[in-house]
Amino acid sequence: MTDSSDTTDSAGARRPVRSRRVAGPGGDLAVYEWGEPAAPPFVLVHGLTDTHRAWAEVAVLLADGFRVIAYDVRGHGGSRVRATADLRLESLADDLFTVLDAVSPHTPAHICGHAWGATQVWEALSDPRANTRIASFTAISGPNLDHLGAQLRELALRPRLLARLVTDRKFLRHSAESVRTAAGRVVYPPRVRTLLIERLGGIAPARAACAPTWRRDLRTGARIAAANLPRRLLRPRPRTTAVPVQLLVDTTDVLVPPFLYYGSGRWVDRLWRCAVPGDHWLPVTEPLLVAEALANFAEDLAATDPSIPRG
The pLDDT of residue 125 is 98
> Average pLDDT over the chain, rounded to whole?
84
| pLDDT score of 134 more than 70 | yes
In the chain, the percentage of residues whose pLDDT exceeds 70 is: 78
Residue 88 lies in a domain: yes
Residue 163: pLDDT band with limits 50, 70, 90: low
> CATH no. for residue 33?
3.40.50.1820
| pLDDT score of 39 more than 60 | yes
Q: Phi then psi for 171, rounded to 5 degrees?
A: -60, -45
Higher pLDDT, 278 or 74: 74
Q: 275, 261 in Cβ contact below 8 A?
A: no
Residue 149 lies in a domain: yes
The pLDDT of residue 190 is 52
Residue 207 lies in a domain: yes
Instruction: Mean pLDDT check: name the lowest of 3-7, 166-170, 250-254.
Output: 3-7
| pLDDT score of 155 more than 90 | no
**Which residue range is the domain that position 195 belongs to?**
2-304
Total domains present in the chain: 1
Q: Phi then psi for 114, rounded to 5 degrees?
A: -115, 135
Q: Which of 155-159, 180-184, 254-258, 295-299 has the highest mean pLDDT?
A: 295-299
Q: Which helix (H) or strand (E) holds 119?
A: helix 116-125
The pLDDT of residue 153 is 82
Residue 217: pLDDT band with limits 50, 70, 90: very high
| pLDDT score of 188 more than 60 | no
| pLDDT score of 7 more than 60 | no
Residue 311 lies in a domain: no
| pLDDT score of 17 more than 80 | yes
| Closest of 86, 101, 102 to residue 25, by C-alpha | 86
Q: 96, 126 in Cβ contact below 8 A?
A: no
The pLDDT of residue 99 is 98
The pLDDT of residue 195 is 52
The pLDDT of residue 73 is 98
| Closest of 264, 217, 221 to residue 239, by C-alpha | 264
Higher pLDDT, 176 or 83: 83
- Mean pLDDT score, 120-143: 97
Higher pLDDT, 23 or 15: 23
Residue 167 lies in a domain: yes
Helix (H, G, I), strand (E, B), or coil: what is residue 60? helix
Q: Which helix (H) or strand (E) holds 61?
A: helix 56-62
**Sign of the dihedral through C-alpha 51, 57, 58, 64:** positive
The pLDDT of residue 6 is 46
pLDDT in tens, 294-305: 999 999 999 988
Residue 128 lies in a domain: yes
